């Protein structure tokens, strides 16, 4: 099933500003919130879909990439799953966007404060920071796709305490300030009556418990510096400047939280003889005047190896030959570009006396006088054909 357009999901136009997007997401989140639709799988999926759309459209960089590449900018993963936000679970959503409602579940007051859609009531889930890396690819790797194994230095879960930050399992106690809820509620009297507000517990920082004896290795953080080798499957057709993200492959989060994402910036390594123009490959072929007049066969490089092409007798300089389907594939599509060969006729810069005498002898021959026919395309016509 194909993904819906993120703007359609939130019901906003492509020119919507940040406030409009935030209001639209809040409306959708309230409508399909798990607390309000307990046991309704369809509502849960729509809740996740709205969160995924908001994650992209609320981030200026992700929104720009989405506007340029659509779902292709976030549509691939190293394990065949999803780059970007397609793998979000309920904890991801609440940890990232809980503040959209001013903290916690917007339905906590209506359903006894349980926050049925969240595990652990109002407890806050920490999130690790994102990491950015650059991956340089050859033109051949871009055309065919590639698997890259990258060593990344980052925050990893402490193996000594298994990420808990505590010396052992008995080194925890329930937070006395919030009673293990991770949030504190305050009731204030106003002219309109009593108003109840919920905020993160200042003592346990929303975790619901405090450590009484810290791990000696990570000193209570639950994470340490380490190295991880990550396998990245780069889809065919990516381009310079495109960013891909791998969910959960960034820095580990303190004390068992949600890890951040790994952001992958694509860089293209210039090819020695081929140039890329969108999905097309450009090659400048230089032939002699003799070959252009008599015709010949030549080998040209392509991203798949060598290809033999025929040069017809009387070929004019500036002619563009097309090798269908020899370009770069489009991301998430069966369409593939072409290879365009620009024919350039090489004019010798130095001549021997014998060569000069031969050319002077042919200079006045009627076949050597420029006489373009009606079928001969002008430079502008060739350029128009090239861009089409």
Tens-place pLDDT, residues 106-148: 444 433 333 333 433 445 667 889 999 999 999 999 999 999 9
H or E element, residue 22? helix 18-32
Name the binding residues for Zn(2+): 158, 161, 175, 178, 201, 204, 215, 218
Confidence of residue 85 (pLDDT cuts 50, 70, 90): very low
Q: φ, ψ for residue 20 (rounded to 5)?
A: -65, -40
DSSP string, 120-187: TTT----BPPPEEEEEEE-HHHHHH-EEEEEEEEEEEE-TTTTTS-BSSTTSEEE-TTTTTSSEEEEE
Q: Is the pLDDT at 151 greater than 60, yes or no?
A: yes
Q: Per mean pLDDT, which range of 40-44, 233-237, 284-288 is the poorest?
A: 40-44
Measured at the CA of 231, the angle between CA 226 and CA 235, to 5 degrees, comes to: 140
Name the binding residues: 158, 161, 175, 178, 201, 204, 215, 218
**pLDDT value of position 386:** 56
Cβ count within 10 A of residue 136 = 11
333 vs 335: CA distance, rounded Å: 5
Q: Is the pLDDT at 292 greater than 80, yes or no?
A: yes
DSSP string, 44-74: HHHHHHHHHHHHHHTSHHHHHHHHHHGGGGG
Nearest alpha-carbon partner for 186 in 99, 104, 94: 104
Beta strand extents in the chain (DSSP E only): 131-137, 146-157, 172-174, 183-190, 193-200, 209-211, 223-234, 243-246, 262-268, 275-277, 280-288, 296-302, 305-311, 320-323, 339-346
Q: Is the pLDDT at 36 greater than 90, yes or no?
A: no
Confidence of residue 337 (pLDDT cuts 50, 70, 90): very high
6 vs 24: CA distance, rounded Å: 12
CA distance readout (Å), 305 to 308, 321, 323: 10, 17, 13
Q: Is the pLDDT at 381 greater than 90, yes or no?
A: no
Whether the pTM exceeds 0.75: the reply is no
**pLDDT value of position 182:** 84
9 vs 276: CA distance, rounded Å: 35
Side-chain half-sphere exposure of 333, counting CA atoms within 13 A: 15
Helix axis angle for 41-57 and 60-69, nearest 10°, is 100
Average pLDDT over residues 2-7: 85
**pLDDT value of position 84:** 44
CB 302 within 8 A of CB 324: no
Q: Is the pLDDT at 286 greater than 90, yes or no?
A: yes
Average pLDDT, the chain: 82
345 vs 152: CA distance, rounded Å: 50
β-strands 183-190, 193-200 pairing: antiparallel
CB 101 within 8 A of CB 107: no
**pLDDT value of position 310:** 95
**Cα dihedral sign for 365, 366, 370, 372?**
negative
Q: 238-273 b/e with 16+ CB inside 10 Å = b? A: bbeebbbbbbebbbbbbbbbbbbbbbbebebeebee
CB 258 within 8 A of CB 127: yes
């Amino acid at each position: 099933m194909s993904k819906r357009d993120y703007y359609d999901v939130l019901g906003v136009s492509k020119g919507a500003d940040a406030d409009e997007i935030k209001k639209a997401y809040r409306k959708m989140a309230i409508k399909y919130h798990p607390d309000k639709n307990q046991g309704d799988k369809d509502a849960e999926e729509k809740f996740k879909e709205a969160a995924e759309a908001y994650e992209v459209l609320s981030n200026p960089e992700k929104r720009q990439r989405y506007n340029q590449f659509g779902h292709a900018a976030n549509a691939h993963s190293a394990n065949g799953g999803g780059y970007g936000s397609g793998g979000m679970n309920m904890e991801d959503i609440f940890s990232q966007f809980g503040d959209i409602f001013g903290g916690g579940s917007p339905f906590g007051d209506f359903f006894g404060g349980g926050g049925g859609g969240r595990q652990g009531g109002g407890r806050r889930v920490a999130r690790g920071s994102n990491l950015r890396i650059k991956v340089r690819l050859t033109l051949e790797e871009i055309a065919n796709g590639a698997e890259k194994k990258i060593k990344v230095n980052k925050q990893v879960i402490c193996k000594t305490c298994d990420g808990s930050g505590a010396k052992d399992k008995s080194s925890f106690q329930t937070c006395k300030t919030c009673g293990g809820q991770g949030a504190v509620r305050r009731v204030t009297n106003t002219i309109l009556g009593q108003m109840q507000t919920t905020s993160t517990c200042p003592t346990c920082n929303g975790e619901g418990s405090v450590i009484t004896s810290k791990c000696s290795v990570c000193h209570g953080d639950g994470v340490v510096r380490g190295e991880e080798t990550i396998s990245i499957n780069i889809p065919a057709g990516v381009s310079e400047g495109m960013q891909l993200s791998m969910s959960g492959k960034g820095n580990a989060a303190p004390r068992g939280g949600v890890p951040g994402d790994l952001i992958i910036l694509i860089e293209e390594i210039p090819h020695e003889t081929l140039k890329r123009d969108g999905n097309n490959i450009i090659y400048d072929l230089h032939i002699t005047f003799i070959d252009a007049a008599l015709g010949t066969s030549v080998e040209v490089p392509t991203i798949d190896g060598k290809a033999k092409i025929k040069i017809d007798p009387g070929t004019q300089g500036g002619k563009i030959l097309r090798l269908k389907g020899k370009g770069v594939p489009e991301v998430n599509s069966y369409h593939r570009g072409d290879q365009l060969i620009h024919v350039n006729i090489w004019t010798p810069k130095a001549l021997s006396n014998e060569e000069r005498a031969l050319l002077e002898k042919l200079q006045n021959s009627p076949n050597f006088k420029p006489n373009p026919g009606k079928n001969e395309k002008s430079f502008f016509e060739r350029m128009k054909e090239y861009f089409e």
